[in-house]
Structure 1
Amino acid sequence: MVSTKRRTTGRISGENVVIEVAWMYYQEGLNQKEIADRLEISRATVVNYLQEARERGHIRITLHARAFTTHRAAVELCKRFGLTAAYVIPDEGADAETGFYRVAHGAAQWLPELLESGDRLGVAWGRTIYELTQAAEETRIDDLTVLQLVGSMATPYGFTAEACSTRLAQRLGARCFNLHAPAILSSAALAEALRAEPIIHNQLARLETCNKFLFSVGTCLPDSHVVGSGLATLEELEWYVAQGATGVLCGRFIDAGGQAIAGPLEDRMIGIPLDRLVGLDQGILVTPGTDKVAASLAAIRGGYVTHLVTSLSVADALLAAD
């Protein structure tokens, strides 16, 4: 004799039962027990179907941006620093790693709302930006271009500049233009010659057409990614710190006021000049940790930031430090 449970679920194919469970849970508001009773399956099976629906991309869960952009700290950040908007994510009780992922995922949710058809989005690199690209839902923004702003690097990290720009373009259904040159050369003469090559010259010229800029600012600590990626040696980092370096933006050092610091690396770098990133339609800064408070303040003071995504603890630290 065939059981009732087998007969009930057998009428629905494997793919359809996943969608059916997802619909009942998210659209009809049934809880897991109610779904299990209706389909005559176990609650554990319902949980598995919901997880499968998420993994297949059938479910897109978003929180309205207003919940974060109208937060007390978000309003105060805009008022204090003259920002267009801020997106502040609660992190009470969260450890540093959990806070990092919350901010990266929050930025991934907000970013599509900030972009429009015809935008040319310049993308920096780093762990924060890469995690954002991993968390971004697949969508499509017509006539969107993503531009890699910093050259390639031989790095032990998975979050290279080209990985960040390529992955984000895939997620947003955008055209992607990578920069096919090293981020740093061994000599200024070699860098100058490479910039003069027609293909690289045209790629660099294209970077300067970006109207929006997505980035996270790096620190000047000894374990900074600017050293780990090979862009600067520890001795070069120490030299820049002695000159007042407070943060790293697209591989270039800035002081506490956000001004670029001229130094031995500048003429050897391949990437967009910092002065081309001031005064854009949007400068979207993602700051996931309190270790980046001083560097973020420098970027804000330098005029690179119009939109900020961060956690409540970082927001309060920014307001207290200014």
Structure 2
Amino acid sequence: MTDNKDDFEAIRQIYTVLMLHFMDGMKQSDIASAMNLSASKVNRLIAQGRKLGMVKISVESPFQRLVELEKRLTDSRGVSSIVTPAVAGSPDTTLQQVGRAAANQVLETLRDGDVIAITGGRAVSAVVENMQPERRFDVTVVPLTGGVQGKFYTDVNHLASRLAERLGGRTMLVHAPLFAENQDQRDMLMEMTSIKEVFNLARKATIALVGIGSIVTPGSSYYDLHPVPDLDREDLIRNGARGEFLAHLIREDGTIADHPLNSRLVALAPGELEQCPRKIGVAAGPAKVLPIRAALNGRFLDTLIVDEETAASVLETLEPFQNVA
């Protein structure tokens, strides 16, 4: 039977080696030399220390609040989350930080041969402008919707071309308006060979990069998208719409709103991205809280990239609902 004194000496030696290695940063070879041990003995003592539970590693972020928000979002809805700092009094800077984080997230997983499908919107535009790859990628970028000319962030074809240019890839464009004049015209456009080909490719996308749109504030991008200049915002809200996803008006529970505008959309429906392995939603600002909640309730995303103030507000609305459920 091993003597207690021997046990103590063995533990003391393990402790000394662990302190020198993990706290003082000494190499195992230097520890062996300092303690007149063989390198294999030092390695064995470190392994024993780990087995005995003497090594506990704690990694803390200087942005611990952001890490906690990410974990809460993931626990609440099962989406991988990246939360960026909010810059007080500067929504544009906050959006650019979200765009930079989303760009880096795309680049971390992007592979040659991938298809990237995107929407328009200010947030997606911020992602495109912050995309700084270290090499060229053999990828194809395609729109998920028809386009609206007039502003750089509403013209999804412009954003798709710009993203393909930055990545060194190619693009296929949708030469059709986002809103058709009626449902029959929409159905006809969706069956056109050139448009059908792009949308078929979008359905097989490896990465979908999408904005999450607000319909609450009069200045929301949604009101730049459609051809009705005097669209009644209050009417949309009364009909249950809380946001837009792929330009589709969606309710709080994530279902597609029963609104005539949805039937005129030249765009993929949210459910058609179900097989896409990386659905990245990008949003910033208080106006996006309700739309984000609706998109999360609809299970449209597997990754959400958002600023900290918006993330906190989304959680305030999600967690009480979850507790009741």
> Structure 2 stretches of 5 or more lacking a match?
1-60, 319-325
Deviation for aligned residue 1:233: 4.5
Deviation for aligned residue 1:142: 4.1
- Checking the alignment, whether the CA contact within 8 Å between 1:68 and 1:74 is kept in structure 2 is no
| Other structure's SS at 1:265 match | helix
Among candidates 295, 306, 315, match of residue 299 of structure 1: 295
Answer yes or no: is 1:160 the counterpart of 2:155. yes
2:54 corresponds in structure 1 to none
CA 1:92 to 1:197, structure 2 compared with 1: closer, same or farther past 3 Å? Answer: closer
1:260 corresponds in structure 2 to 256
Q: TM-score, with normalisation over the residues of structure 2?
A: 0.72
| Other structure's SS at 1:310 match | strand
> How far apart are the structure 1 equivalents of 2:236 and 2:226?
15
> Structure 1 stretches of 5 or more lacking a match?
1-64
For residues 213-228 of structure 1, the aligned pairs below 5 Å read 213-221=208-216, 222-228=218-224
- Checking the alignment, whether the CA contact within 8 Å between 1:116 and 1:141 is kept in structure 2 is no
Answer yes or no: is 1:315 the counterpart of 2:306. no
> How far apart are the structure 2 equivalents of 1:134 and 1:237?
30
Q: TM-score, with normalisation over the residues of structure 1?
A: 0.72
- Checking the alignment, whether the CA contact within 8 Å between 1:244 and 1:255 is kept in structure 2 is yes
CA 1:227 to 1:94, structure 2 compared with 1: closer, same or farther past 3 Å? Answer: closer
> How far apart are the structure 1 equivalents of 2:280 and 2:137?
20
1:172 corresponds in structure 2 to 167
Instruction: Please tell me the root mean square deviation across aligned C-alpha atoms, in Å.
Output: 2.5
Identity %: 22
Deviation for aligned residue 1:231: 4.8
Per-residue CA shift, 1:10-62, capped at 9, x if unaligned?
xxxxxxxxxxxxxxxxxxxxxxxxxxxxxxxxxxxxxxxxxxxxxxxxxxxxx
Among candidates 89, 98, 101, match of residue 103 of structure 1: 98
CA 1:231 to 1:212, structure 2 compared with 1: closer, same or farther past 3 Å? Answer: farther
| Other structure's SS at 2:86 match | coil
2:85 corresponds in structure 1 to 90
Among candidates 249, 266, 270, match of residue 270 of structure 1: 266
Per-residue CA shift, 1:56-86, capped at 9, x if unaligned?
xxxxxxxxx9979981211221111101x21
> How far apart are the structure 2 equivalents of 1:262 and 1:141?
43
Name the aligned partner's letter for residue 203 of structure 2. Answer: E
For residues 39-50 of structure 1, the aligned pairs below 5 Å read none
Q: How many residues align?
A: 257
Per-residue CA shift, 1:262-287, capped at 9, x if unaligned?
32123322111221023521111112
